[in-house]
Structure 1
């Protein structure tokens, strides 16, 4: 018995020494200290840069919607915007979408919902708001959309902290003061713009659930195509009721801008940014937009910007920064 015990002890000692030698010879196989691994900075920097690009380009599209409000009916504006965008993206995305047609067919509900929110409805509402609402107000109302993105994430199971909830309240207070400045009465354009902000926030949160393996450019082409098809009935009604618009340099060039830059370029940049850094973090960049829109509308459309608007902007942006800067 004693001899067997000594042999067992010797074998255990030999095994421990062997394991120690292996750990020394291969330090990479040793257990790593507990803690959060360092995240790569390159994807985060790229995501933030793409979110900034999309935000700056979209700032010009609000000014364009306001400028075309009296000359191009909102539905026709949206329809031709997406026709141009589809023509730009087709050479890059049509073949990729065709190769992934089986995957797209399996997730057709997701694709149609994304197309409806981000293409068909969102931009039509923005154009409708531009008929009566100043571009600066449009940009400031849209600045609350990051808060809506956070709410959509919460509905998807993401926990919101105290700071994010506080930011939600401050930003919403700024929006209410902005659109209710004249006797707390909402104008029709303000209500259209709030609805557009809800659509964009829902669309951005939905992007987080994009099916794995679905190519970004192929997805973009598919949503542009589906969104344009969904716009066809409304476009036909608009032609029958309102008549068509006259293509002039003052209408064609803005439509080319929103079709190429604000649709093809900006949507690709935004979708990629959301995939890299998430909707809440990308939404934090979105607070640059009201400043850009206010400057552009003041420069190009001679729209006045007063202290009341500046105060509302401070509330909205303060709430967005407070909410978006909080950790989950």
Structure 2
């Protein structure tokens, strides 16, 4: 009898330990996936800037998603077909997600890249986490003091990075602000993804719908601007944004949202202006200095503070 009681006590303690540690793994995975998506997307801003003079923005977006669709098809097409009835029932949600995250968002980013430095693009996109947090709070989610503080610290770093270093703004920055609003809305929308809808199937479907929605604009761009010359300097960047920045990064980001929510993922997203500034300095010779380095450190501190456990 004593042995049985001891066994029950041991099992209870083990169960409590397992319950206590179980949430840690999904959170760690979610943060890692958010970091991965943020790092990969940082390169896409540099690519948008680099292709601004050689590939029209709409054609850049269209071929990006054609490549992404081909990359995701082996994993997602069959799953999407199996869930076609579920997708049909929630077609409005899928179409809105495709419009915001695929059709409009990247087209606006590419349009901004024609006149806006890549570093500015990354800084302006840092408005997205604030919008994500506002959406989540409006949905009744308690954000916690630590997360709000991290959001505020990182946001202050971004504002100083933009204003304190004398960053010059162009008309293209308005396109980037609109892109940030689209991405924030898309990320918040992911929280309402229909239960049971497979991640790879959802990704394939949104890529397909978003590409179809781009077809009219692609036709107008070809008629008015003409096509672009396929060279290694245009094809390789398009392959990068199609495979890495679309197929890989969107899957990672969508999964991160499902694990840790848009607000915590949004705090991690503040790493993007840091990554973009470093990449644009290394690859495009865009200037950076000590003031920017200090602001980047502030952003990193806010990310570390806000990405931790809710308090």
2:50 is matched with which residue? 67
Structure 1 residues 300, 248: closer, same or farther in 2, change over 3 A?
same
Cα distance per residue 1:121-143 (max 9 Å; x no partner): 11111111111111111112222
Structure 1 residues 176, 288: closer, same or farther in 2, change over 3 A?
closer
Cα distance per residue 1:296-319 (max 9 Å; x no partner): 111111111135545665666666
Question: Greater Rg, structure 1 or structure 2?
Answer: 1
Alignment partners' CA distance in 2, 1:4 and 1:79:
66
Alignment partners' CA distance in 2, 1:14 and 1:262:
50
Please report the TM-score for the alignment, with normalisation by the length of structure 2: 0.85
Greater mean deviation of Cα atoms: 162-171 or 65-74: 162-171
Alignment partners' CA distance in 2, 1:199 and 1:73:
20
Cα distance per residue 1:44-65 (max 9 Å; x no partner): 1211111111111111111100
Greater mean deviation of Cα atoms: 91-100 or 73-82: 91-100
Q: In the TM superposition, what is the alpha-carbon distance from 1:156 to its structure 2 partner?
A: 2.1
Structure 1 residues 307, 87: closer, same or farther in 2, change over 3 A?
same
Instruction: Supply the RMSD in Å over aligned alpha carbons.
Output: 6.5
Structure 1 residues 124, 23: closer, same or farther in 2, change over 3 A?
closer
Contact 1:166 1:323 in 2 (8 A): yes
Q: In the TM superposition, what is the alpha-carbon distance from 1:260 to its structure 2 partner?
A: 0.5
Q: In the TM superposition, what is the alpha-carbon distance from 1:114 to its structure 2 partner?
A: 0.4
Structure 1 residues 313, 129: closer, same or farther in 2, change over 3 A?
farther
Alignment partners' CA distance in 2, 1:3 and 1:218:
51
Alignment partners' CA distance in 2, 1:4 and 1:257:
60
Alignment partners' CA distance in 2, 1:65 and 1:24:
45
Structure 1 residues 13, 50: closer, same or farther in 2, change over 3 A?
closer
Q: In the TM superposition, what is the alpha-carbon distance from 1:101 to its structure 2 partner?
A: 0.7
Where 2:220 maps in the other structure, the secondary structure is: helix
Q: In the TM superposition, what is the alpha-carbon distance from 1:193 to its structure 2 partner?
A: 1.2
Query: Which of 132, 136, 142 is equivalent to 2:125?
Result: 142
Gap runs ≥5 in structure 2: none
Structure 1 residues 42, 234: closer, same or farther in 2, change over 3 A?
same
Structure 1 residues 188, 166: closer, same or farther in 2, change over 3 A?
farther
Gap runs ≥5 in structure 1: 6-10, 26-37
Q: In the TM superposition, what is the alpha-carbon distance from 1:183 to its structure 2 partner?
A: 9.3
Cα distance per residue 1:247-268 (max 9 Å; x no partner): 0000000000000000001111
Aligned residue pair count: 311
